[in-house]
Chain A
Amino acid sequence: MPDYLPHTDADVATMLAFLGLSDIDELFSAVPHALRLAGGLALASGEPEPDVLAHMGALAGANRAADLVCFAGAGAYDHEVPAVVRALAGRSEFVTAYTPYQPEVAQGVLQAVFEYQTMVSRLSGLPVANASLYDGASSLVEAVNLGAAASGRGTVWVSSGVHPHWRACLRTFSRGSGHRIVEIPLVDGVSAWPHDPALRGDHEPPGVVVVAYPNYLGCLEDLAAVRRIADAHGSTMVVAQDPVAAGLLRSPGDWGADVVVGEGQAFGMPLSFGGPYLGLFSCTMAQVRRLPGRLVGETVDVAGRRAYVTTLRAREQDIRREKATSNVCTNQTLMAVTAAIQLGWLGTQGLAEVALRCARGTRYLRDGALGMSGVSPLTGDTPVVRELALRTAVPARTVIDRMAAEGFLAGVALDELTGEGGDGSADASAAEHGLLVAVTERRTLAELNAYLVALEKAVRP
């Protein structure tokens, strides 16, 4: 009977006797007999750990993708995760704690999150960052909720350069919030914002304007133009920032963003089949009382010692209940702590170096790929940073299948990314022939050259 239960038979007997019970089933006397599960759960018997490990190992072994050299991105990147980050983030004091409801015995997590908030704030260029949300998409949904509350208008202009899955989440949650989501198409990889005449008629001006920087096709958007739109309509400007590219780029706060969100997976989290990842969220001080999720602040204890505590708690669901503007409770604290450790490891120079190396690898791949017949740019001459979209002569999915045989995860097929609910950014055939490729600092020149050789073969009809 494998389990982790400490009770001996004698313990159980002692405890039942103390309770005046003769059988453990009597503990469940409040459960109506008619409802009780007869015959037990329809699950196999328990297995000892080594047997379970063998099973899980076999499942892991059936994932061929894990053995491929990764050129896929689309919001999930193969960055370096050093031994020191894995060791520190794996410390069981961080792993097996819960929400710091008792700050006197939770200073470790609280201070780590305070340091994380500081780092996220410096990346975004905005003064306040929360303690994390679930992932990039959930940060975007919360940002739109905040932005609509701040402007008082639920019409949301979302660039189609925002990750397709994030936009899908926005559409899902708009059924509850009632927000009207207007997706702005891309031309040559950047948002084609409507001119003012498009606002005539019965539509209200946008309460929120959302843009990604760089966008999911890797392109650099004109944030000054987005700020002008926000100023013209009194809209909240939300920027979905790639926090690695941020190592090279002006911060969204510097461009005038009101809210900055992002996916923090790149900071110490393995690809993990999509989770757990990390929702980055920061905003201006003017919006701090609408900030979703938890916020750690510095204070002092009774002896005047510096200490940390979750603060502005009156915003949160457990206090405001039906008046809360967000329902977030458990977030991704361990991922925030991991990101703080990874950013501590990278430091000022390391983050800049990672971003620069990604951009160099992307340039090298772009130069090599665009010289081939059968490959053309999907986004014109628009500058890209760490990811690029190629148009391939054969469907992208075919390229990916062919290159898997050569040992590469060649990228992400755009039609599979956008296929779940339509996409304003490209016509169907462009999407089918669109291959999104990411080059991180881990990709060597030898890998890049081998990739290009394989790509040239794979795009032949």
Chain B
Amino acid sequence: MTTEVPPDGTAGGHDLPGGREPGGRAPGGRAWSAPLMGRAEEPTLFELSEPGRHSWQLRTTGVPEWSAEELLPAAHRRHEPVPLAEVSERDLVAHFTRLSHRQFSVDLGAYPLGSCTMKYNPKVCDTVASLPGLAGVHPAAPAQMSQGWLALLVELEEALCAVTGMAAATFQPAAGAAGELTGLLLMRAYHEARDDRRRRVIIPDSAHGTNPASVRIGGYEVTTVPSDDRGCVDLAALRSVLDRDVAGIMLTNPNTLGLFEEGIEEIAAAVHDVGGLLYYDGANLNAILGVVRPGDMGFDIVHLNLHKTFATPHGGGGPGAGPVAVGEHLVDFLPGPRPVRLLHEAQESAASNGTGAAAYGWAMPPRSIGRVHSWHGNALVLARALTYIRVHGGDGLRRVAERAVLNANWLRARLSSAYDVPFDRPCMHEAVLAASTLKRRYGVRALDVAKRLLEEGFHAPTVYFPLVVDEALMVEPTETESLQTLEALADAFERIATDAAEPAGAEAAHAAPRTTPVGRLDEARAARVLVPTFDARADVGKQGASGP
């Protein structure tokens, strides 16, 4: 394991032994993406534009060619077209292909971004999402004409209920944060239906930032409880803030420290004792698939991040899907309309052949909180998730959790001498390490470690989160990385720590990354001299640097 990072990032340094690795394993899986990524600036599409060029081609229709003047009142008409770029199709392809070469992705290499579950996204799901019979269906098509979609949604709902131990689910929330807000509105509706006005929701100090933000937007006040020295919710502190003003608690389990909340049964009993509800943030569900279910832990409301646990691609920051599953006592409040099964299974085949009444329809829950999406949620994302679930089945999902936890623990154990381990016990799907010693001794911070990893051809872990850990490095390898890749990743981590002890190494860490399309950015300038559009750049150029 002596691969050096050449300062210019060329592939010349990538001289892996041609034979087998120590231990006889094949040398595959050593991600090395940096040389693939171009390092010259790419002009914007607007700079590539030349008036008169075009890409568009539209269908020949034969519809009479009335002018805009004949079609629209003068007061409403625009006088000049909306200025967009004018490029040939060839230039359009070149531009976005070059941009794609300036982008790291799961398909390119390991992406151990903690809390984000950047697992491999099976290609078969792309095929499913592009089936014309799914992608070509209008969302307002009557139920009789969209029976396949309704059947798909009902099947997925049943699968997600099996995984979570809940009674029913809504698919409308488009992402995890939307699921959180939906869950909080369900909590509110549940209490209000019992004429019970409560004002507070409890959140551990290790929670994702979306939790407290959702609580506020859901109209509640946040009460934060600290973690104990084992990284779990401090039970005594929790009990001290529980009363009949508490609407519920939001928990991630395993929590954001990658640890299972060992006291979950006590937590559930204590919250339920004061009439509160338990909300499960599904960000970390990948760790416990088939092992333990939120419903069995005592949770009343669960959101899932299908783009994490069920491998739907993250899309550079969405689309996600954040379905919310609930216990029997909350089903009547779910957003609607919901897809429902109308007939028994025996009648379904006749129905799908068009020989009987529709097997599936829409229903509005009697005390629904209402809509939370323009239509039915991110439907094509849902189709991908069902595909993933069917390929794996119950056994396969359990294996997913086992291998995810195995990978994280292997990495944690392997790196425990080179890095600080704030909570020294087995983790679940992710390991929280820290660079506090490196920082104290050599001035090399978590951010520097992250940037050096980019040079090594890996995506960086999540840094500075959870907030309760100093110089946190949150590493989630996921189950789809091989032992070879884990070894290469661990080697890179160790090399960075070892090098940091030398002045030249620490300097290199501060200068990193040097092999990526751009180096470290002037983020302060981006906020100070705001240039959110190409047009703003021209304005800044004219007026000199001035903030908004």
Q: Is B127 an interface residue (CB 8 A)?
A: yes
Please pick, from B45, B142, B159, the residue contacting A344 in the complex, using a CB distance under 8 A. B45
Task: Establish whether residues B391 and A52, one from each chain, have CB atoms under 8 Å apart when the complex forms.
Answer: yes
Nearest first, the 4 closest Cβ-Cβ pairs linking A and B are A274-B375, A60-B133, A108-B103, A334-B315
Q: Is the CB of B107 within 8 A of A272?
A: no
Known contacts: A108-B100, A128-B533, A332-B319. The answer to whether A5 contacts B403 by CB under 8 A is yes
Can you name 19 A-B residue pairings with CB atoms under 8 Å?
A15-B410, A47-B390, A66-B133, A72-B140, A84-B92, A96-B105, A103-B518, A111-B44, A121-B533, A175-B369, A176-B217, A247-B82, A274-B373, A300-B525, A302-B520, A309-B523, A321-B209, A347-B86, A385-B71
Alpha-carbon gap, A435 to B93, bound state (A):
40
Taking a contact as CB atoms under 8 Å apart, the answer to whether B56 and A111 are in contact is: no
Q: Which of B141, B152, B305, B522 has the most CB of A within 10 A?
A: B141
Whose C-beta in chain A lies nearest to the C-beta of B175? A330
Interface string of A375-403 (1 = CB under 8 A from B): 00000000101000000000001001100
* Chain B proximity of A116: nearest CB distance (Å): 10
Chain B residue, CB-CB nearest to A314: B527
B208 within 8 A of A: yes
| Chain B residues near A128 (CB-CB < 8 A) | 532-533
Structural contact, A349 and B395, CB atoms closer than 8 A = no
Residues from chain A with Cβ under 8 Å of B354 in the complex: 64
> Which residues on A sit within 8 Å (CB–CB) of B402?
24, 27
Q: Is the CB of B482 within 8 A of A40?
A: no
Among the listed stretches A197-205, A423-431, A440-448, A451-459, which one makes contact with chain B, having 4 or more residues with CB under 8 Å of it?
A440-448
Q: Is there contact, CB below 8 Å, between A135 and B374?
A: yes
**B143-201 at interface with A (beta carbon < 8 Å):** 144-149, 151-152, 159, 162-163, 174-178, 180-181, 184-185, 188-189
Would you give the shortest CB distance from B309 to chain A, in whole angstroms?
Answer: 13
Q: How far is the CA of A285 from the CA of B407 in the complex (A)?
A: 47
The count of residues in chain A whose C-beta lies closer than 8 Å to any C-beta of chain B is 215
Contact of B86 with A127 in the complex, beta carbons under 8 Å? no
Contact B76 A165 (CB under 8 A): no
In-complex Cβ contact of A322 among B222, B293, B465 (8 A)? B222
Closest A residue to B79 by CB, please name it: A250
Residues A56 and B131 in contact, CB atoms below 8 Å apart: yes
Q: State whether B134 touches A24 (Cβ < 8 A).
A: no
Interface residues of B, dominant DSSP: loop
Contact between chains at B527 and A347 (CB < 8 Å): no
Contact with A along B394-429 (1 / 0, CB 8 A): 111111101101110110011000000000011010
Q: Does A306 contact B (CB under 8 A)?
A: yes
Which single residue of chain A is at the shortest CB-CB distance from B360? A62
Return the contact of A273 from the options B95, B149, B518 (Cβ within 8 A): B149
Q: Is A196 close to B, CB under 8 A?
A: no
Shortest Cβ gap from A118 to chain B (Å): 4
B350 within 8 A of A: no
- Distance (whole angstroms) from the CB of A322 to the closest CB of chain B: 4
Contact with A along B38-72 (1 / 0, CB 8 A): 00011011100101011111111111111010011
**Which residues of the other chain, A, contact B259 by a CB distance below 8 angstroms?**
30
- Tell me the chain A residues, 292-323 only, with Cβ under 8 Å from chain B: 294-303, 305-307, 309, 311-314, 316-323
Q: Bound state CA distance, A309 and B261, in angstroms?
A: 36
A330–B307 contact, CB under 8 A?
Answer: yes
| Shortest distance from the beta carbon of A203 to any chain B beta carbon, whole Å | 21
Q: Are A70 and B138 in contact (CB under 8 A)?
A: yes
1/0 contact string of B444-464 vs chain A (CB within 8 Å): 000000110010000110100
A356 to chain B, nearest CB (A): 6
Q: How far is the CA of A166 from the CA of B374 in the complex (A)?
A: 6
The proximity string for B residues 518-548 relative to A, scoring 1 for CB distances below 8 Å and 0 otherwise, is 1111110111011111111100000000001
B residues in contact with A299, CB < 8 Å: 521-523, 525-526, 529, 531
- Chain A 4-39, CB-CB to B under 8 Å as 1, else 0, gives 111100011011101100001001111110111100
Mark each residue of chain A from 259 to 301: 1 if its CB lies under 8 Å from any CB of chain B, else 0.
0000100000011111111000000010011000011111111
Q: Judge whether B44 and A114 touch: CB under 8 Å.
A: yes
CA gap between A302 and B307 in the complex, in Å: 34
Bound Cα distance A24, B404 (Å) = 11
A165 touching B375 by the CB < 8 A rule?
yes
Residues on B with C-beta less than 8 A from A145 are 217
**Candidate in A41, A66, A132, A357 with the most chain B CB atoms within 10 angstroms:** A41
* CB < 8 Å neighbour of B313 from A63, A70, A75, A96: A96
With a cutoff of 8 Å between Cβ atoms, the chain B residues found around residue A319 in the complex are 209
Instruction: Indicate with 1 or 0, residue by residue over A35-60, a CB within 8 angstroms of chain B CB atoms.
Output: 11100111111111100110111111
Chain A residues positioned under 8 Å from B437 (CB to CB): none
In the complex, whether A138 has a CB less than 8 A from a CB of chain B is yes
CA distance A103 to B126 in the complex (A): 26
Q: Specify which of B63, B152, B212 lies most central, judged by the most chain A CB atoms within 10 Å of its CB.
A: B63
Q: B128 contacts A53, CB within 8 Å?
A: yes
B374 CB, min distance to chain A CBs, angstroms: 4
Interface residues of B in 456-499 (CB under 8 A from A): 459-460, 462, 465, 479-483
Q: Does B361 contact A (CB under 8 A)?
A: no
- The minimal Cβ–Cβ distance linking B527 to chain A, given in whole angstroms, is 5
Residue B303 at the chain A interface, CB threshold 8 Å: no
The smallest beta-carbon distance between A164 and chain B, in angstroms, is 9
Asked if B275 is at the interface (CB within 8 A of a chain A CB), the reply is no
**Min C-beta distance of B248 to chain A, whole Å:** 14
CA A329 – CA B75 in complex, angstroms?
40
The answer to whether the Cβ of B302 comes within 8 Å of any Cβ in the partner chain is: no
Contact assessment for A330 and B318 in the assembled complex, using a CB-CB cutoff below 8 Å: yes
Q: Does B120 contact A (CB under 8 A)?
A: yes
How far, in angstroms, from A247 to B149 measured CA to CA in the complex? Answer: 33
Interface-lining segment among B10-18, B111-119, B234-242, B500-508: B111-119
In whole angstroms, how far apart are the Cα atoms of A263 and B375 in the complex?
12
Evaluate contact between B128 and A420: CB separation under 8 angstroms. no
Does B301 sit at the interface, judged by CB under 8 A?
no
Q: Pick the contact of A62: B71, B86, B104, B148 (CB < 8 A).
A: B148
**Contact A296 B532, beta carbon cutoff 8 Å:** yes
Q: A3-B396, A275-B379 are in contact. List 9 more A-B contacts (CB 8 A).
A: A3-B392, A3-B400, A59-B134, A118-B46, A129-B532, A172-B372, A343-B85, A347-B85, A445-B63
A138 touches B178 (CB 8 A): yes
CB contacts (< 8 Å) of A45 on chain B: these are 393-395
How many angstroms from the CA of A226 to the CA of B23 in the assembled complex? Answer: 74
Q: Closest B-chain residue to A445, C-beta based?
A: B62
Q: B73 at interface (Cβ–Cβ under 8 A)? A: yes
B246 at the A/B interface (Cβ < 8 Å)? no
Q: Which residue of A lies closest to B287 (CB)?
A: A28
The interface stretch among A187-195, A230-238, A409-417 is A409-417
CB-defined contacts of A276 to chain B, threshold 8 Å: 174, 318-319, 378-381
Residue of B nearest to A36 (CB): B292
The answer to the question of A208 belonging to the interface, with a C-beta cut-off of 8 Å to chain B, is no
Question: B276 in the interface, Cβ–Cβ < 8 Å?
Answer: no
- Inter-chain CA distance A97–B99, complex, in Å, is 13
Q: A251 is contacted by which of B78, B134, B386 (Cβ under 8 Å)?
A: B78
In the complex, A4→B478 CA distance in Å? 11
Q: Is the CB of A333 within 8 A of B318?
A: yes
The answer, yes or no, to whether A161 is at the interface (CB within 8 Å) is no
Are A15 and B63 in contact, with the CB atoms below 8 A? no
CB pair B519 A345 closer than 8 Å: no
Smallest Cβ-Cβ distance to A111: which chain B residue: B99
Contact mask A107-145 → B, CB, 8 Å, 1/0? 111011111011101110001110110111110000001
Q: Are A307 and B374 in contact, CB atoms less than 8 angstroms apart? A: no
Residue contact A330 to B81, C-beta cutoff 8 Å: no
A341 engages B450 (CB within 8 Å): no
If A5-B479, A307-B521 touch, whether A321 touches B133 (CB-CB below 8 Å) is no
Q: Judging by beta carbons under 8 Å apart, are A104 and B374 in contact?
A: no
**Given A332-B318, A349-B56, are A62 and B147 also a contact pair (CB < 8 Å)?**
yes
Contact partners of A129 in chain B: CB under 8 A:
532-533
Which residues on the A side are within 8 Å of B49 (C-beta)? 347
Most chain A C-beta atoms within 10 Å of own C-beta, residue among B64, B320, B370: B370
Residue with the greatest number of chain B CB neighbours at <10 A, chosen from A48, A108, A177: A108
